[in-house]
Each structure stands twice: as structure tokens, then as C-alpha cells.
Structure 1
């Protein structure tokens, strides 16, 4: 069963739903977003009854917003509890405490941040909203000067109105150890026995140690094969602790130079947001993650990456880091942006006045041409912005 909600559903996902006649919950939002009578619509009442009867049945959502529907229609269900377990970063840290007994974290109310004692907290550390999205409100604090700056930025007056309530809950924050190493995003599902099946792995590129942006994510045969076994070992331990089955998830984690894995967060019942990490493999080389999840299939990486072994596939998130307020931006030249890449597979355009990004670009990059990714990683995007 698929539960579709705002802000975005891709044509690729809609075509997948139609082609396979997967059941789609007929909410007002999904009907507005997908005006398609040929989809296999089921009523909200039937959907809620199915979830209550079998909380471990296959269910996929495309958006954080869909979790509100689940909470309101299946209140008190086992599924709702599993969702809350992962969405609340404090509860999640408690879940994995036995796996990482030395990992330090603390929950703090926003109002208490200016008066917080750092006793027992070593630099560098990370402070972030307990519930958040798009890396909004996330800060890496390297020293005392950094902390004084961040405390000022995290004043209520500076945050209210900056992020929509649906995207960011600023009432509580988590302070936790900063984990050095490489960051990855993993789309996976836990099958009917609770075993994890990894469907893709993206390397999250950063421009520096203090960078927390979501600009570039890349995947390839080499990235997947080098990480799959280690990530599966951790995810199986996590899934067993949580007791989840038939459960898709988008997991963000770090791996240090010694191969130690530390989870950042788990996004329940979906893959990458805005139909990104889940769509790119299908658009680029015909590998449909939605079908693999719903049909409980395991990927054969040699077959999937056949003929594209040396290619790098990337998602470029076009966040507005230009310093130009959205109100002063007339338009964004997506065509010019596409011309700056070797092989632009797709550009999804968004209105910066309505959403926190200009859109997304999917790119195929040949080995040896990674400079195009390094270039966009540090770009302020002013080259493509037309102001009022």
C-alpha cells in the first residue's frame, strides 16, 4: 500500500503505481496531486483497517507529511509507535544505546540553550533539532567561539518563521558527539523476517569538515559494494532491537576511518525525500526501488550496474546558499545549470518562494570527471539566479 502526500510526488513514482496497480490510499492530498482514475485507489477507511489488522504489512510513504495521516488514523497502533521511535531522535538514541555505550548525547529545550553547561560535552559536537528535515538547524560546534555564535543563531526570535513547522520542530534539540568520517544515505527495507535488504547507498559529499548542507549525493557500483556488508550488519542489529518487519527506511550514517558505523537518523516508511534517491536509479539505469521493496526482491548488483560500472550517479540539491532572500529572486536558470554537467539526466524545478530549494538535478559523471561535482558542491548558485 502506498500513502502519497505533499509536497511532491514524481512522475516516475506515479507511473510505477499505475503500471503495477499497487494500492494507493485515496486521501484528499493524494487525489489532488495525482489526478489519475487509473490508479488502484482504496478508501482511507479500508487503508486504516488494513494497518490496524496487520501493522507489519508493506506500506510506503513518499513524504514526512504522510506520517500525520498514519498517526491520526491508526492512533495507538504498533506501527505508529515504530514511527515515533525513529522520528524522535532522543528515543532513537536510547534504542541504540546498547550498541554505542560510549556515544554521548543530551536533549535540551530551546529556551535552555543560552544557559546550558557544557560539562561532560567535548568539542567538537553537533546540535540539531530533535525532529527535523533537510539538515535545517544542524550545527557543528568546534570550539567555545563557535558555541557562542551558534547560541545566538538558535534564539527563538531568529528561528521562528525561518522554517515551516511541518519541516522543523524547534522546541527541542539534541547535542551529541561529532563523528568524523564519511557520511552515507541508505535506502533499505526490513523484510517479513526482519532481515535488512539494502537497495542503494549514496555517499554524501561535503565541502569541508564544518559543512552540513545537502548539496551532493553520489552512488556507483564501487560505493555500494564497498559499504553494503558493513552497513547491513549494523542495520540488522538496529532492526532487531526495534522489532520491525516489512518496513522501508532511509538511513543516514557515518563511517570512520576504522570502519566504525554511527547512525545519524532513520526516516521511517520511505526512501530519500522528494523522490530523489529512490528515483535516480530507475531513471538512470532501469532499477526500480519501489518494485524491489513491494515485491520483496533483493538486488543483484552485478546485473544492476552492468554497462555502467565506471559511472557515478549524483543528486544535486539546489539549496539557496546565495545569501539572496527568496523574495528578491525572480527566477532560476535551470537550463544553464544543466549545461554545466557532462550528462544531465533530469532537472526537477521548484519555486524557491514556496520550497526551501530551487529543485534537484540528476547527473551521470564519467570516471575522472568528478570536478563537475566538486565545483557545484562549493557553488553559491548566483550564476544561475535572476533577481527582481
Structure 2
């Protein structure tokens, strides 16, 4: 049997199933590969075996071979250790970005090449094209499902070896195609949240790895309101989980996390979704990853996202000598969070991105230029 030219990452979900279906319809020679990225921790929340069965069923329905690889060790070293280190430092990391860079478009791509394939394909909602001899990552046609934000760490070599068959489709069409082809994943619920946590309470999960450290909850003007069990359980802009309802002398309005003083273990909160304590006009990033492979050295205007599914915001980007950037937003931004990803766009083209290092929000340390 001739070797498949494209290896499709079959996750056991409807999106990767239809990605394989579309490639077959185009006459491509394909095989599937199921990746296990998280070892069963005995919680009962790991759905890897269920997903594996669904991936096998899809491969059987499509009549394609399927391979299996266990990348849980690589995931632990390349993604999860960083996830814990960032939370311990009081930041809020994005494991999906690291998983794409360190596992799906690194170890998976290597495994596909070992199997003799020329390219990989996934069920991500994004597009790739080639313009003036360089590869570009573009937003998906379905703006509500676009995943280019999570893919901004890919480079020229990875884009050249990747296919995104769903980039031109809307999600309802994907569901319809799966149903028409009688794929066993046609009605399967989409996975949400952080894959290795599942339906578990986030605080309960994280406390297995990071020791609780009780501290004070205070308003920005210093009023003591209560006690928290660890600043790393909370993120900027968060509502809920603070247990501050019905406080004497305070209006009956929700409380939001507006700052984290990690050194003194103090969590700052304030009432009001759009509290001025949550607003920032500038951010500084860590070293940028430029998808083109060509760093920018002069200031330029573009659009930016600082969280997934956030509307793109106009900004001016000023490159720094250390490889990072300073971003000046055209209007104040709410809850820009260190540890999350800054992703830059020129229209539909994703230019690249970086981890947010600091902002000029009122409770942040002095903003470094």
C-alpha cells in the first residue's frame, strides 16, 4: 500500500472528521493520526479513550488507515510545566497556543514525516495562502470560529507543510457535511475550555499542583474585604469565585478582580464591569514571533487582539531592541492580562504575536518603556 501524502490529526471531534472528509473528496491520499496529549490522572475527567474510539470509528467510516501516538510526555514538558510556572508567578497563560507550537505543529508534524507524509492537516478554522513567495496565515471565513489567534506561533516551514480544510467553511456547514456522510461525530458536542481540566472546577484542579496560600482581598484604596486562597486562582476581569456578596455598606453589585499583588499576596477587587482600574492604553510584550520570519523594526499601525474572540482593536506597534513591542491602543482596553497572547493582524492576515509582559493599567507596576 502506498504511503499517505497527508496525515490528518483525527481528534475524535466533528471538525477533524470533516477535514479528513474534504481531503478525501479532493482526491488526496490521506491517513489519520490520533494524538494522546494528556495522561489519565485518575480523575475520570480524561476523555482520551472516548475520543480515541470516535477517531477510530471515523477512520473506519472513511476507509482510511489510522495511527496512534502518545505525546503526553512532550505535552507535560513543553506545555504543562510552563502553565504551572506562569500561574505560580501570578500570570494567566494560554496553553492552547503552546500546545499548537510544541505538540500539534512540532511532534505531530515530525511523526507524520516519519510515516512518509508530505503534509499534515487539522480541523482548525483558519486559512493558509502563499503571497509573493511567503506563506500567510489568514483568518477563517467563519469569524465566530476563527482560530488564527491560537496559531500565531506558526512559522513558514510549518505553514508550508499544513492544510486547514475548514478555513473556507462555516460551522453549520461542517455539521451538515458530517451528517450527510453519516460520520459518527456529526452530533458530538464541541470540546471547550482547557483540555486537561475537562469539567473539573479549575481551583480544585490547580490546587493539586500549586499549594494554596491565603491572603487578603482589598479594594484599590486599601479597604479589607475578605480572604482568598491564592492569587494564582484568579485572573484580571474575573467575576465570581470571590465570595464577597452582601457586604455591609456596599452596593449590591458584582465584584471583579482588578489587580494582583503577587509579592504581597493581595488580590485587588472593585465593583463595576468597566472599572477604570481594569483599563489600559499600552502594553509591552515579550519577544515577538513574526510569521513571515522577518521582524519589523519601524513603528506601524495594525489591529490587535489580546484575548480570543475579542474584536480586533486599532493600535500602533513600536518594536523594541529586545525583540518585544510596545503597543499603543487607539482606545482603552479592558483587563489586558500578562501571560495571555498579543496577536497582531493586517486585515485578515495574522502577522504574529507574543506573550503580554506588562500593561499600564493603574495597579500594574510602573510601565517600562
Identify whether the pair has TM-score above 0.5, normalized to the shorter chain: no
The structure carrying a bigger helix percent of its residues is 1
Q: What TM-score comes out, normalization by structure 2 length?
A: 0.28
Q: What TM-score comes out, normalization by structure 1 length?
A: 0.27
